Amino acid sequence: MKTSRMLLALTLAAPLSVFAADEDRSAEEIAKYREMISDGNPAELDEMRGEEVWKTPAGSNKATLEKCDLGKGPGVVKGAYAELPRYFPDTKRVQDLESRLLTCMTTLQGIPEADIVKAPFSTEKKKSDIEAVVAYVAGQSRGMKMAVSLKHPKAKEAYEIGKRIFYYRAGPYDFACATCHSENGRRIRLQDLPNLTTNIGAQRTYTVWPAYRVSQGLFRSFQWRLNDCFRQQRFPEPVYGSELTVALTMFLAANANDAKYDGPGLKR
């Protein structure tokens, strides 16, 4: 009895281990592919364009964004992204980069918020200016340590709300972010799914977004990424710059603290 069970185990184990080896090899080859395309990230073109947008007068005030305060003082771009989201005393709320840019574009430049919010993301036909600025600002934190502060009570509160959103199950599939992103070793087809509840998982993921999406040939902002997650959960699409996406961004960004920011990245 014992022997036959062992034999059964062996016969079962053999093809399984071959399968596992195949999978490992594919994963290894795909890792090599990603390494090969990491040089010459087209996101750099969006960074260049974003810097132009930043310095070009626009809106009814014919103003540039050069006086926009991203948290380190008016016009300071260097290192700003690594400290976002943060609490802003002037708006009395926690803002991520995108909601903050919305504030600057409406207050400094006089662009109506509705105009920006109705089409904030690039399409094949029309590239988004705000996404280009996101590329530029994020690129100016490349190589810096993530240092998101939770000292302000509002910042801490946003983190806690973000955490609740992460675990909030709803929609026709009864899905939460956590359904896919709270265990190690999960994947959808060839895509490894990061465990965003661990520091290492959050660090590896957060520090390479925003990113150029190879499959779409477009640069994608962090809110675009979150909105796409909500879409996959069959949730309604959050409004651009919403409190909800800011809070979730806060949860993920703070979990990524201490890692070196390495974006904008390149995604398949």
Partner 1 sequence: MVNLERRQALKTGGALGLWGLFLSLGLVPQGAQAEWNKPLFSAKTMNEALDGLGAILPASSEAIALTVPEIAENGAVVPVSVTSTLPDTTRIMVFVDKNPNVLAADFSFPAGTEGFVTTRVKMGQTAQVIVLVKADGKLYRAAREVKVTQGGCGG
Partner 2 sequence: MGSPMKIRAAVKDGVTEVKVLMQHDMETGLRKDAAGAVIPAWFITELTAKHNGRVVLEAQFGTAVSKNPYLVFRFKGGAKGDKVTVSWKDNKDDSRSDEVEIAEKA
Catalytically active residues, by annotation: 229
- 40 binds partner 2 per the rule CB under 8 A: yes
The item of partner 1, partner 2, none sharing an interface with residue 33, based on CB under 5 to 8 Å by kind, is partner 1
Work out whether 35 is an interface residue with partner 2 (CB under 8 A).
Answer: no
Please spell the DSSP secondary structure of 140-203, one letter per residue.
Answer: TTTTPBP-----SHHHHHHHHHHHHHHH--BTTTTB-HHHHHSSTTEEETTEEEP-TTSHHHHH
Q: Does 217 bind partner 2 (CB under 8 A)?
A: yes
Give the one entry of partner 1, partner 2, none that residue 44 binds, where binding means its C-beta sits below a cut-off of 5 to 8 angstroms depending on kind.
partner 2
CA distances from 183 to 67, 106, 179, 194 (A): 43, 41, 8, 8
Output the CA torsion 115→110→83→166 (10° steps): -30
Rounded to an integer, what distance in angstroms lies between the CA atom of residue 74 and that of residue 66?
Answer: 7
- Measuring CA to CA, which residue among 100, 130, 132 is closest to residue 212? 132
Residue (40 or 185) nearer to partner 2, CB: 40
Stretch that binds partner 2, among 3-11, 42-50, 156-164, 231-239 (CB under 8 A): 42-50
Among 13, 20, 45, 170, binds partner 2 (CB under 8 A): 45
Adjacent-strand bridge partners of 219: 212
DSSP 83: G
Residue 52: phi and psi, rounded to 5, are -60, -45
| The binder of partner 2 chosen from 9, 48, 119, 200 (CB under 8 A) | 48
Residues 6+ apart with CB under 8 A from 44: 139
45 binding partner (options partner 1, partner 2, none; Cβ < 5 to 8 Å by kind) = partner 2
User: d(Cα 229, Cα 233) in Å, to the nearest integer?
Assistant: 6
State the binding partner of 244 from partner 2, partner 1, none, CB within 5 to 8 A by kind.
none
Query: With CB cut-offs between 5 and 8 Å by kind, which of partner 1, partner 2, none does residue 32 bind?
Result: partner 1
CB of 13 to partner 2, least distance (A): 43
Residue 42, interface with partner 2 (CB under 8 A)?
yes
- Binding region for partner 1 (CB under 8 A): 26, 29-30, 32-34, 36-37, 40, 180, 187-191, 193, 214-215, 217, 228-229, 232, 267-268
Question: How far is residue 252's CA from residue 264's CA, in Å, rounded to a whole number?
Answer: 16
Asked if 119 touches partner 2 (CB under 8 A), the answer is no
Which positions from 66 to 105 touch partner 2 by CB under 8 A, shown as an x/- string? ----------------------------------------
Q: Which is nearer to partner 2, 6 or 48 (CB)?
A: 48
- Compute the chain's Rg from CA coordinates: 21
Backbone angles phi and psi of 244, in degrees to 5: -65, -50
Q: Does residue 153 touch partner 2 according to CB under 8 A? A: no
Which of these, 49, 231, 39, lies nearest to 122 by C-alpha position? 49
Q: Does 142 bind partner 2 (CB under 8 A)?
A: no
The residue ranges that bind partner 2 (CB under 8 A) are 39-40, 42, 44-45, 48-49, 217
